[in-house]
Amino acid sequence: MSENSRHDKLPIRMLHDRVLVRTDIPEGERRSTGGIVIPATAAVGRRLGWAEVVAVGQNVRAVEPGDRVLYDPEDRAEVEVRGVAYVLMRERDLHAVAADRFEGSQDTTGLYL
C-alpha cells in the first residue's frame, strides 16, 4: 500500500475546528539548499514547518484535505494512526495555507511567503 493511499481513508472523523496534518519531512537532520547537513541538535531560531492536511472538522472554513499548511512545530499534539504519525491542531494555529485553488483567485493579497 502506498503512503498516499494509506491516509486517504482514515477511520477518523475530526470534530469542531480541528485539523489533522501529516508533516512533510521527518524531524532530525536537514540539508540546506547548498547541500550542507544541519544536525538535529543544531540550535536554530523558531522555525515553522509545512504539512499536508489529511482531515478537517466540520467547523474548519479555510482549509481542505490536500492543502499544504504552515504551522509551528512546537505547538502541536501528535497522534499515530495505523502506524503513521500525524499532527493534530486547531485551525487558528495555522499560519498560512497553500493550495492550487487560490491561483488566480480574487481574494488573494498578492503577497508571497
Strand, coil or helix: what is 101? Answer: helix
The tally of domains found in the chain comes to 1
Q: Which of 59, 64, 77, 102 has the alpha carbon at shortest distance from 23?
A: 77
Q: Answer whether residue 109 is part of any domain.
A: no
Distance CA 65, CA 55 (A): 5
Is residue 33 situated within a structural domain?
no
Higher pLDDT, 99 or 89: 89
Bigger pLDDT: 1 vs 58? 58
pLDDT of 17 strictly over 80: yes
Q: Is the pTM of this model over 0.85?
A: no
Q: Domain containing 15 — which CATH number?
A: 2.30.33.40
Residue 59: give the domain boundaries. 9-25+43-99
Q: Does some domain include residue 65? A: yes
**Residue 1: pLDDT band by 50, 70, 90 thresholds?**
very low
Q: What does pLDDT average to over the chain?
A: 77
In a domain, 19, yes or no: yes
Q: With 60 as the cut, is the pLDDT of residue 3 above it?
A: no
Q: Does the structure show a pLDDT above 60 at 81?
A: yes
Secondary structure letter of residue 77 according to DSSP? E
Which residues have a Cβ under 8 Å from the Cβ of 40 and sit 6 or more positions away?
27, 28, 29, 30
pLDDT at 105 over 50: yes
Q: Which residue has the higher pLDDT, 36 or 38?
A: 36
CA atoms in the 13 A half-sphere facing the CB of 96: 12
**Percentage above 90 pLDDT, the chain:** 27
Biggest CA–CA distance in the chain, Å, is 43
